[in-house]
């Protein structure tokens, strides 16, 4: 994994009243020690090294600068990026990811990232009018090992998760909003948060009972250039591991807790398999959570894990467990590549697909993306069969006209197989666009009740994971 970082929350008032002791020390900007007081404090503290450790006094801004900004910068450059918050219940994961939305000083990583993305877009488009961006958002939760679309009217319906060689892992029929401003994106995420499952336990009055994954895809086009950069940001607020003896849960809450612990245990197994050089199998499929995060764990993504810890002696076992978990996760190696989709074939090369051209595209980091993400497998075969670029790109241009923008010149009736492909794609997800005229007059909820607004072409960017 890219950086593994630790954030320590302050002792809560309740913990101070109960006279719990703080057993965490930051010995160095990136070393953390934990003391076991059950042996009269005689045991030597256990020390771990991470890329950064932020203590109790750290502000939400410090957290964003350290954990959030570097990942978002990468996404704006066309990489995939993931930040996920891990830790026991009540350790501050949701505070780190969401924070308090009404107070800018307490904004978590999500609102700060939204602000950052649109500021960067405004600056880039002010500098260069030929650049345009499209930002798409989807939001899902994994609740009791079921995937729910937090932006759907029917957010309790269970969606299926699929994996195929063409699209990778994707959630079928997932809602995607195309948003034009930070306030749109902010409103969409607020709606999703409202739909997310939370409940009260002894350890946390507002405990997340599901894992939430916010997906923001940023597509950058430059007019006159037949290329588009696509970066996806995944912001993951995991539900916390918990012990029934401490949370005092029963009934529904207990069932939730057992599913939460089960999926976190699978996440632990996936991490262990990824860092074990001898391992031949990574059990992504053992839980929906790990399958959903497959690309973020060991795949093509700059991934940062934020380990949240609560510092009181009462939480010694859980904190030690979190630090060990993060210590293992930091050894995961991801294979990160910038994602530039291209119509290179459309105009640059109009001769036969020679091995030289294939090498060039591979060199440009494009070949694999084109083959694995955008071209139906039968086209791959045609390339291998030495189909001409013209023949290939005529079809490809039509099927990806949304990416090529005004540069699409060859307009001809799509072949039967392409029409079929497009039907297949539109079945995979639903897409909405927030239009500025309606933005003023309708709330997001009202818009969600409206039928489809400005349905986007089905071959746009939400298929990548
Ligand atoms: N750094 C912090 N500074 C101040 N308060 C914090 C901090 N971190 C967490 N808190 C407070 O601690 C409580 C628990 O935090 P939070 O809900 O974020 O925990 P969590 O890890 O998401 O728990 P769960 O797994 O149960 O969802 C909240 O009241 C939150 O406001
Ligand atoms: Mg939470």
pLDDT bin (cut points 50, 70, 90) of residue 84 is very high
Place of tokens 């009934």: 251
Q: Crossing angle for the helix pair 69-76 and 109-127, nearest 10 degrees?
A: 40
pTM: 0.78
Do 180 and 73 belong together in one domain?
A: yes
Best residue among 16, 88, 90, 205 to mutate for probing ligand 1, ranked by most atoms within 8 Å of CB: 90
251 is in an annotated binding site: no
Residues 85 and 215 in one domain: yes
Alpha carbon 449 to its chain centroid, in Å, reads 26
Same domain, 147 and 44: yes
pLDDT digits (tens, 9 = 90+) for 56-68: 999 999 999 998 9
Asked if residue 350 and residue 272 are part of one domain, the reply reads: no
Task: Write down the pLDDT at residue 330.
Answer: 82
Contact between residue 149 and residue 158 where contact means Cβ atoms under 8 Å apart? no
Instruction: Indicate the helix (H) or strand (E) that contains 218.
Output: strand 211-222
My answer on whether 366 and 259 are in the same domain is no
Residue 454 included in any domain:
no
Which band of pLDDT confidence, cut at 50, 70 and 90, is reported for residue 249? confident
Packing angle, helices 251-275 and 316-329, rounded to 10: 40
| Dihedral, CA of residue 346, residue 216, residue 454 and residue 133, to nearest 10 | -50
Calpha distance 23→314 (Å, rounded): 9
pLDDT score of 250: 86
Question: Ligand 1 center to residue 113 CA distance, Å?
Answer: 19
Residue 356: pLDDT over 80: no
Q: Is residue 389 part of a domain?
A: no
Contact residues of ligand 1, CB 6 A cut-off: 9-10, 12, 87, 89-95, 204, 206-208, 239-240, 308
Better pLDDT: 141 or 230: 141
- 283 and 373 within one domain: no
Residue 52 phi, psi dihedral angles, 5° rounding:
-160, 150
**Ligand with an atom nearest the CA of residue 95:** 1
- Asked whether residue 403 is domain-assigned, the answer is no
In a domain, 355, yes or no: yes
Could you tell me the pLDDT band of residue 337, with boundaries at 50, 70 and 90? low
What would the pLDDT profile of 282-325 be if each residue is shown by its tens digit?
Answer: 999 999 999 999 888 877 788 899 999 999 999 999 999 999 99
Identify the domain containing residue 355 by its residue range. 345-382
188 and 296 share one domain: yes
Q: Which has the closest alpha carbon to 83: 233, 268, 284? A: 233
**Residue 114, domain CATH:** 3.40.850.10
Asked if residue 349 and residue 328 are part of one domain, the reply reads no
- pLDDT above 70 as % of the chain: 69
Q: Do 233 and 252 belong together in one domain?
A: yes
- At residue 172, does pLDDT exceed 90? no
Q: What are phi and psi of 404, to 5 degrees?
A: -85, -10
Residues 333 and 376 in one domain: no
Average pLDDT of every residue of the chain? 75
Q: Confidence band (pLDDT; 50, 70, 90) for 120?
A: very high
Question: Looking at the CA of 11, which ligand is closest?
Answer: 1
Task: Pick from 5, 8, 9, 64 the residue to mutate for probing ligand 1's pocket: most ligand atoms within 8 Å of its CB.
Answer: 9
Residue 180 in this model has a pLDDT that exceeds 80: yes
451 falls in which pLDDT band (50, 70, 90)?
Answer: very low
Using the 3D structure, point to which of 275, 307, 338 is the last residue of a domain: 338
Nearest protein CA to atom 23 of ligand 1, as residue:
90
Do residues 47 and 33 touch, judged by C-beta distance below 8 A? yes
On whether residue 450 sits in a domain, the answer given is: no
Q: Nearest CA to 334 among 20, 69, 77, 80?
A: 80
Structure confidence by residue, pLDDT tens digits, 381-416: 333 334 444 444 444 444 444 433 333 232 233 233
Instruction: Name the helix (H) or strand (E) containing 228.
Output: strand 227-237
pLDDT for 351: 31
Give the model's pLDDT for residue 22.
94
Residue 294 belongs to some domain of the structure: yes
78 with 93, same domain?
Answer: yes
Any idea what the Cα angle at residue 193 is, between residues 198 and 145, rounded to 5°? 55
Nearest CA to ligand 1 atom 10: 92
| 422 in any annotated domain | no
Half-sphere exposure (CA, 13 Å, Cβ side) for 212? 26
| 436 inside domain | no
Number of domains, the chain: 2
CA of 147 to the centre of ligand 2 (A): 17
Angle at 231 between CA 210 and CA 8, to 5 degrees: 45
Give SS3 for 107: strand
Looking at the fold, whether 165 and 148 belong to one and the same domain comes out as: yes
Of the residues 321, 338, 355, the one at which a domain ends: 338
């Amino acid at each position: 994994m890219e950086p593994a970082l630790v954030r320590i929350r302050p002792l809560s008032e309740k913990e101070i009243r109960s006279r719990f002791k703080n057993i965490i020390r930051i010995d160095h900007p990136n070393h953390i020690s934990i003391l076991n007081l059950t042996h009269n404090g005689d045991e030597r503290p256990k020390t771990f090294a991470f890329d950064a450790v932020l203590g109790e006094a750290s502000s939400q801004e410090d957290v964003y600068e350290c954990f959030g900004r570097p990942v978002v910068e990468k996404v704006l450059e066309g990489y995939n990026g993931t930040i996920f918050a891990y830790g026991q219940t009540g350790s501050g994961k949701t505070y780190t990811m969401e924070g308090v939305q009404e107070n800018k000083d307490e904004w978590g990583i999500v609102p700060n990232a939204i602000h950052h993305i649109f500021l960067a877009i405004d600056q880039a488009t002010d500098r260069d009018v030929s650049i345009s961006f499209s930002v798409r958002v989807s939001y899902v939760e994994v609740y009791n090992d079921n995937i729910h679309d937090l932006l759907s009217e029917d957010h309790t319906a269970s969606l299926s998760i699929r994996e195929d060689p063409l699209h990778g892992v994707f959630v079928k029929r997932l809602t995607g909003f195309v948003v034009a401003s930070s306030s749109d994106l902010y409103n969409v995420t607020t709606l999703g948060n409202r739909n997310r499952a939370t409940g009260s336990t002894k350890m946390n009055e507002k405990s997340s009972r599901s894992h939430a994954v916010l997906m923001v895809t940023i597509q950058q086009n430059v007019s006159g250039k037949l290329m588009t950069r696509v970066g996806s940001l995944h912001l993951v607020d995991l539900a916390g591991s918990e012990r029934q003896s401490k949370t005092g849960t029963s009934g529904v809450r207990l069932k939730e807790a057992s599913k939460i612990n089960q999926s976190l245990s699978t996440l632990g197994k996936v991490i262990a398999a990824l860092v074990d050089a001898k391992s031949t199998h990574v059990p992504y499929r053992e839980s929906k959570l790990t399958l959903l995060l497959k690309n973020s764990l060991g795949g093509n993504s700059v991934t940062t894990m934020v380990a949240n810890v609560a510092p009181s002696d009462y939480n010694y076992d859980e904190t030690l467990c979190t630090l060990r978990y993060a210590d293992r996760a930091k050894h995961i190696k991801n294979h990160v590549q910038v994602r530039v989709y291209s119509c290179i074939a459309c105009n640059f090369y109009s001769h036969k697909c020679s091995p030289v051209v294939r090498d060039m595209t591979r060199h440009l980091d494009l070949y694999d993306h084109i083959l694995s993400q955008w071209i139906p497998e039968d086209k791959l075969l045609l390339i291998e069969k030495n189909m001409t670029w013209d023949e290939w790109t005529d079809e490809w241009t039509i099927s990806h006209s949304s990416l090529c923008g005004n540069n699409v010149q060859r307009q001809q009736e799509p072949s039967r197989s392409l029409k079929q492909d497009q039907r297949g794609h539109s079945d995979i997800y639903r897409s909405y666009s927030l239009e500025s005229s309606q933005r003023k007059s309708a709330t997001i909820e009202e818009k969600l009740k409206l039928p489809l607004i400005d349905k986007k072409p089905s071959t746009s960017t939400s298929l990548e994971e």
